[in-house]
Amino acid sequence: MAGSPIEWADGSVVRLDRRDPYLRLQSVTIFVRDLDRSVDFYVKQLGFQLVFDARSQEFAGRHFVTVAPPDGTANLTLVAPERDSDQHKLIGRYTQVTFVTEDVLAKFREWSARGVRFLVNPRLKRLKYPVRVQTAGSAASSSEAAEHPPIWGGVFARFKDPDGNSFSLVSFDEVTHAVEAQRRAIAEKIETERRAAQELAIAKQVQARLFPQTLPPLKTLEYAGICRQARQVGGDYYDFLDLGSERLGFVIGDISGKGIAAALLMANLQANLRSQSAIAVDQPQRLLRSVNQLFCENTTDGAFATLFFAEYDDATRRLRYANCGHLAALLLRCNDSIERLESTATVLGVFKRWDCEISETQISPGDILALYTDGITESFNDAGEQFGEERLAEALCRDRTLCSDDLLNTIVDKVRQFSPREQQDDITLIIAKSL
């Protein structure tokens, strides 16, 4: 909303509407004789912060230092005027500056121990003043208001600096209560953030266990997978499913959205695939139809996933696959030609009545299969260029002699060098090399 206030770190409030432009007290000028002595007093004895130091240079022909109380929004500008100036005559005059604290007695003890001289020791003050009391449907008269005066309660003290400039130190009951309430709110916020961070760390550990922990052995294929998440948890997914009868399922997917929501959907998809993989014996279409139905039933409207599922037969080197709206897999042949394994179906989770086509290809010795998510190809450099499929294919060709694990890490490193800024999307990649 246009008129909503925004609170800055220093406690001041900025309004967004132009009818009430931002305004606050910046500084009050205090005239002193010796800036070095004054800095020692305000910084060392009172515990103020040194905001700006112009002792070694001149601004408009004068030397000055700016200090500020630790929790204040206004500054004190300490100025050492020339001896023959009118300002020099104002040194040691009553400044009419008042500092507010939640506990005058505590500050009195602290500052007294540091040698601060108090002119008036802490004393209780209670003042009564009339105020018009508004009631439902009517306003009280002045005489009625005078009969119910609120009581202002607080403690008052007065101290002075080495030049005799005097200051008031007060605490109001309302200020004390407000500070206590603010501290409780800050403590609750910190605790909430701590719990959220702890829960997110646990979620990251849990999700890490969802990725394959062991690799079922194959005689004719060497393979590896990796997922580098942009956040602590993410929506990219890859898996290796032991389908029995010397067959292995390769799965890579990308869940819509990011963060916790995407991670939950990723876990749902993984659970569906693993629980239904037993029916994948010669029926990958049935498996994927079942996974799509469960995904539709267990997720909210608008949630979907792209998925590439491939079944590799270790005995025949046959690869049957279904590309459900995912990026085309790249099959680098031994002669360096590229075969793209395009979509054969729409995404999962959108249509309850859903089906897919199964395509197949033959894997020859020396071929390399690459499955990936858009965190690879859609990584941008500073010039706004994408890493792209062409660079991925070039990297596969250039480093094809590496083992699958080294080739995978080399490509991920190239993507990160190409896009050195903060990672914006999950980077997931599977590399499989035919032996």
Residues 62 and 162 in one domain: no
**Long-range interactions of 141-146: CB distance < 8 A, separation 24+:** none
- Do 394 and 359 belong together in one domain? yes
105-119 pLDDT, tens digit each = 999 999 999 999 999
Which residue type is seen at 100?
A: V
Q: Are residues 295 and 383 in the same domain?
A: yes
- Domain C-terminal end among 166, 188, 204: 204
Tens digit of each residue's pLDDT (9 = 90 or more) over 253-292 = 888 777 777 777 788 788 878 877 766 566 788 888 888 8
Residues 288-315: pLDDT tens digits? 888 888 888 877 777 888 999 999 999 9
In a shared domain, residues 423 and 274: yes
Q: Is the pLDDT of residue 144 over 50?
A: no
Domain extent, residue 136, equals 99-204
Domain final residue, candidates 142, 173, 204: 204
> Is residue 363 pLDDT above 50, yes or no?
yes
Q: What is the percent of the chain where pLDDT is above 70?
A: 83
Indicate whether 193 and 290 sit together in one domain.
no
CB 312 within 8 A of CB 250: yes
Q: Is 250 exposed, middle or buried (0-12, 13-18, 19+ CB in 10 A)?
A: buried
- For 335-362, write each residue's pLDDT tens digit: 999 999 999 999 988 888 888 899 999 9
Same domain, yes or no: 66 and 176: no
d(CA 345, CA 356): 5
Among 133-137, 261-265, 422-426, the least confident range: 133-137
**Banded pLDDT at 93 (limits 50, 70, 90):** confident
Contact predicate 371/381, CB 8 Å: no
Selection from 354, 358, 283, 373 nearest residue 321 by Cα: 358
C-beta of residue 319 within 8 angstroms of C-beta of residue 312: yes
Q: Tell me, yes or no, whether 274 and 348 share the same domain.
A: yes
Instruction: Tell me, yes or no, whether 177 and 78 share the same domain.
Output: no
| Domain identity same for 60 and 112 | no
DSSP string, 19-33: TS------EEEEE-S
In a shared domain, residues 127 and 173:
yes
Which of 67, 91, 115 terminates a domain? The answer is 91
CATH at 21 = 3.30.1900
Answer yes or no: is pLDDT of 151 > 70: no
Q: In degrees, to the nearest 5, what angle opens at C-alpha 145 toward C-alphas 144 and 149?
A: 125
| Identity of residue 352 | K
Q: Are 379 and 418 in contact (CB under 8 A)?
A: yes
**Please, are residues 91 and 31 in contact by the beta-carbon 8 Å criterion?**
yes
- Does 12 share its domain with 72? yes
356: nearest Cα among 317, 316, 314, 306: 306
Q: What is the pLDDT of residues 163-192, one digit of tens each?
A: 999 999 988 766 666 667 777 888 888 888
Closest CA to 325 of 405, 218, 253: 253
Total number of domains constituting the chain: 3
Mean pLDDT of 84-96: 86
428 phi and psi, to 5 degrees? Answer: -130, 135
**Are 111 and 86 within one domain?**
no
